[in-house]
């Protein structure tokens, strides 16, 4: 870390961010009118520190969940409807059927489908209300709906039911997305009530899901601060996070909003030291619109992002109590060693990360932007085990996540200060790098490991060697490129064009199935998704194997073509 960045970190204070955390801890921020009012709290604090802010006001399509309950002959159970459940104020009644599902203990598998496949069969669940363990995540709800279930009750792991969102559509739907909009009521119950309802299902009992929802277009405030760089103002790092939350959402995500507020204040005061620009955005519509705010921004500013954004950095759930570790941190391979260095320089801690999930305002994968951070620091596994905590998607591992317990006590002022410094150093380091600090050799290594495991599963049924050859060729071109950058025979300008440009090719091929400028569904995406069918060939009989191989042939063409494009780009500057 440069001396200059170290000095800027000394300007970080927790006075302004903690004030916002405290204010937000009294403000529920999920109903659109409350969300817009809370934007004013961010904007007025920026103004008080003379930081110029633009408030965009997109119309977002949102689903606002008000209340839910489950009625049976024996009584009524408290429930929470996820956003995008269907509105069913008079209740939908049907026979219950239990589909067992595993509850995961790890964030790495939190979003995976985990329900029993045979028990999910249409002949078993059609016309019935499915009751199943876990959260009301879309992969699950979509499969039950497609197999004919008329409602879904999610049995959450603990004593509290969690809010969430059950649509697989990423952001505001377009015409192609609309057929995937959920058409059934969904509700989450806590574990004790869930067990009672599962017992009822086992006896062939009936239940009614009652939900009160409101859905439509909502004008939503989206504050953006642009801190211009001195040398290349058009190039920018995007730092972003959501400011709407479930209830008062302190750990998820008032602490993140406060982090970005302090970074805006400090960077604006130090703007004479920035080489590239830093753009900071606070999103509405994250919770009730499946990242509708960030997705709208990705659409509305797609060409600017495509031509000028050098990295996107998501800020969710920093500064939570007991979050002493940097573990399961989201980073794309090319950013890994850079992010590890920053975390070590600022905190003295080693860190461990993972491939970013298809979640958390990562609305920029289809455009193709190098990305790091989603959730932030987290508590140790031993502490979670000691407390009997299950895996959650935020709040540093605190199970107050997405419940009314996500209050002021979930935030920790000292941890917040540390995390603000980590984010600030990481963002400023990219903005000021002479040569962008991303190493695509790590990505080609990742690709080779992916192809290796895919080939092992495919056996002799499909040959991935053309993909392996294309990766190997790209890897050798990258060796020559990084050597030429190091010895100065490639100019810094040309190097930066290539390093940022490769993201437009290699991020989409590794993280998306859809084309650029669309948005993949909010469902897990395997590495090199066009080739992932190679891992599933055991599931095909002789008759249908040909369809899978056809899929793979087309997928391989996409991968090889992308890798060759990437290589041509690299070779063109190395000469």
Q: Quick check: 366 binds Zn ion (CB under 5 A)?
A: no
Which residues are bridge partners to 353 per DSSP? 329
Q: Quick check: 253 binds Zn ion (CB under 5 A)?
A: yes
Q: Quick check: 252 binds Zn ion (CB under 5 A)?
A: yes
Q: Quick check: 394 binds Zn ion (CB under 5 A)?
A: yes
Nearest-approach distance from CB 260 to Zn ion, in angstroms: 13
Q: Which stretch binds Zn ion (CB under 5 A): 12-20, 252-260, 384-392, 527-535?
A: 252-260
Comparison of 145 and 252: residue with beta carbon closer to Zn ion: 252
For residue 20, give both structure tokens.
């916002």
Query: Would the CA dihedral through 115, 119, 123, 126 be positive or negative?
Result: negative
Q: Residue 105: exposed, middle, or buried by beta-carbon count in 10 A (0-12, 13-18, 19+)?
A: middle
Phi-psi region of 459 (alpha: psi -120 to 50; beta: other; left: phi over 0): left
Q: Which residues within the stretch 511-540 sit at the binding site for Zn ion (CB under 5 A)?
A: none
Comparison of 211 and 253: residue with beta carbon closer to Zn ion: 253
Judged by DSSP in three states, 64 sits in: strand
Distance CA 515, CA 533 (A): 18
Comparison of 253 and 295: residue with beta carbon closer to Zn ion: 253
For residue 322, give both structure tokens.
């007991």
Distance CA 544, CA 528 (A): 22
How many chain residues are in contact with Zn ion, going by CB under 5 A? Answer: 4
State yes or no: cis peptide before 253, omega within 30 of 0.
yes
Q: Which stretch binds Zn ion (CB under 5 A): 194-202, 247-255, 455-463, 521-529?
A: 247-255
Comparison of 315 and 505: residue with beta carbon closer to Zn ion: 315
Comparison of 143 and 316: residue with beta carbon closer to Zn ion: 316
Judged by DSSP in three states, 480 sits in: helix
- The string of DSSP letters for 400-423 reads TTTSTT-SGGGB-HHHHHHHHHHH
Comparison of 319 and 394: residue with beta carbon closer to Zn ion: 394
Q: Quick check: 318 binds Zn ion (CB under 5 A)?
A: no
- The string of DSSP letters for 331-388 reads B-GGGHHHHHHHHHHHHS--EEEEPPPS-TT-TTTTTT--EE-SB--B--HHHHHHHT
Q: Which stretch binds Zn ion (CB under 5 A): 14-22, 391-399, 476-484, 486-494?
A: 391-399
Nearest-approach distance from CB 316 to Zn ion, in angstroms: 4
Q: Which residues within the stretch 288-317 sit at the binding site for Zn ion (CB under 5 A)?
A: 316
Q: Which residues within the stretch 161-180 sit at the binding site for Zn ion (CB under 5 A)?
A: none
Distance CA 102, CA 155 (A): 11
Q: Quick check: 257 binds Zn ion (CB under 5 A)?
A: no
Comparison of 125 and 260: residue with beta carbon closer to Zn ion: 260
Comparison of 299 and 316: residue with beta carbon closer to Zn ion: 316
C-alpha pair distances (Å), 210 with each of 80, 86, 97: 10, 10, 17
**CA nearest neighbour of 506 among 569, 572, 462:** 569
Q: Which residues within the stretch 424-483 sit at the binding site for Zn ion (CB under 5 A)?
A: none
CA geometry: angle 446, 501, 274, nearest 5 deg: 105
Comparison of 156 and 317: residue with beta carbon closer to Zn ion: 317
Nearest-approach distance from CB 37 to Zn ion, in angstroms: 19
Q: Which stretch binds Zn ion (CB under 5 A): 190-198, 228-236, 393-401, 504-512?
A: 393-401
Q: Which residues within the stretch 78-107 sit at the binding site for Zn ion (CB under 5 A)?
A: none
Distance CA 318, CA 419 (A): 6
Per-residue x/- mask for Zn ion, residues 141 to 160, rule CB under 5 A? Answer: --------------------
Residue 430: Cβ within 10 Å count:
26
Nearest-approach distance from CB 246 to Zn ion, in angstroms: 9
Nearest-approach distance from CB 194 to Zn ion, in angstroms: 24
Comparison of 160 and 252: residue with beta carbon closer to Zn ion: 252
Distance CA 369, CA 308 (A): 10
Q: Which stretch binds Zn ion (CB under 5 A): 58-66, 161-169, 253-261, 429-437?
A: 253-261
Nearest-approach distance from CB 360 to Zn ion, in angstroms: 7
Residues near Zn ion (CB under 5 A): 252-253, 316, 394
């Amino acid at each position: 870390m440069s001396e200059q960045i170290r000095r800027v970190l000394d300007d970080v204070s927790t006075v302004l961010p903690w004030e916002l955390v405290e204010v937000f801890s009294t403000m529920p921020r999920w109903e659109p009118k409350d969300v817009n009012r809370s934007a004013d709290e961010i904007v007025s604090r920026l103004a008080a520190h003379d930081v110029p802010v633009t408030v965009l006001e997109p119309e977002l399509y949102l689903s606002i969940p008000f209340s839910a309950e489950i009625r049976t002959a024996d009584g009524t159970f408290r429930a929470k409807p996820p956003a995008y459940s269907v509105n069913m104020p008079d209740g939908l009644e049907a026979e219950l059927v239990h589909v067992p599902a595993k509850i995961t203990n790890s964030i790495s598998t939190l979003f995976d489908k985990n329900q029993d496949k045979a028990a999910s069969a249409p002949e078993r669940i059609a016309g019935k209300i499915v009751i199943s363990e876990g959260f009301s995540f879309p992969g699950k709800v979509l499969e039950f709906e497609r197999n004919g279930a008329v409602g879904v009750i999610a049995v959450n792991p603990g004593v509290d039911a969690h809010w969430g969102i059950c649509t697989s559509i990423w952001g505001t739907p377009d015409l192609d997305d609309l057929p995937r909009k959920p058409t059934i009521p969904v509700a989450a119950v806590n574990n004790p009530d869930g067990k009672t309802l599962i017992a009822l299902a086992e006896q062939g009992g009936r239940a009614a899901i009652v939900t009160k929802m409101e859905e439509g277009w909502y004008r939503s405030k989206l504050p953006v601060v642009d801190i211009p760089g001195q040398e290349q103002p058009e190039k920018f790092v995007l730092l972003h996070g959501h400011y709407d939350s479930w209830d008062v959402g302190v750990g998820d995500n008032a602490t993140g909003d406060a982090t970005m507020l302090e970074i805006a204040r400090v960077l604006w005061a130090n703007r004479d030291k920035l080489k590239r620009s830093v753009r900071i955005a606070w999103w509405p519509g994250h919770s009730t619109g499946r990242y509708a705010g960030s997705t709208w921004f990705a659409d509305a500013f797609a060409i600017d992002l495509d031509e000028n954004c050098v990295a996107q950095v998501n800020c969710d759930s920093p500064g939570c109590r007991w979050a002493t570790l940097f573990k399961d941190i989201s980073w794309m391979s090319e950013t890994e060693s850079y992010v590890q260095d920053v975390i070590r320089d600022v905190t003295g801690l080693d860190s461990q990360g993972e491939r970013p999930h298809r979640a958390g305002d990562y609305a920029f994968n289809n455009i193709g932007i190098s990305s790091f951070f989603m959730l932030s620091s987290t508590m140790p596994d031993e502490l979670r085990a000691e407390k009997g905590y299950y895996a959650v998607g935020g709040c540093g591992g605190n199970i107050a996540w997405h419940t009314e317990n996500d209050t002021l006590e979930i935030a920790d002022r000292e941890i917040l200060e540390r995390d603000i410094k980590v984010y600030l150093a990481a963002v400023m380091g990219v903005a000021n790098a002479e040569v962008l600090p991303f190493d695509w050799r790590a990505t080609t290594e990742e690709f080779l490991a992916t192809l290796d495991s895919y080939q092992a599963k495919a056996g002799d049924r499909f040959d991935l060697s053309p993909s392996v050859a294309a990766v190997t060729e790209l890897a050798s071109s990258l060796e020559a490129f990084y050597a030429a950058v190091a010895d100065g025979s490639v100019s810094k300008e040309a190097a930066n064009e290539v390093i940022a440009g490769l993201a437009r090719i290699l991020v989409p091929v590794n993280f998306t199935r859809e084309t650029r400028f669309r948005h993949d569904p909010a469902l897990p995406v395997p590495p090199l998704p066009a080739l992932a069918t190679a891992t599933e060939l055991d599931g095909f009989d002789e008759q249908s194997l040909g369809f899978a191989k056809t899929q793979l042939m087309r997928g391989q063409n996409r991968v090889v073509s992308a890798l060759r494009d990437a290589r041509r780009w690299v070779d063109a500057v190395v000469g």
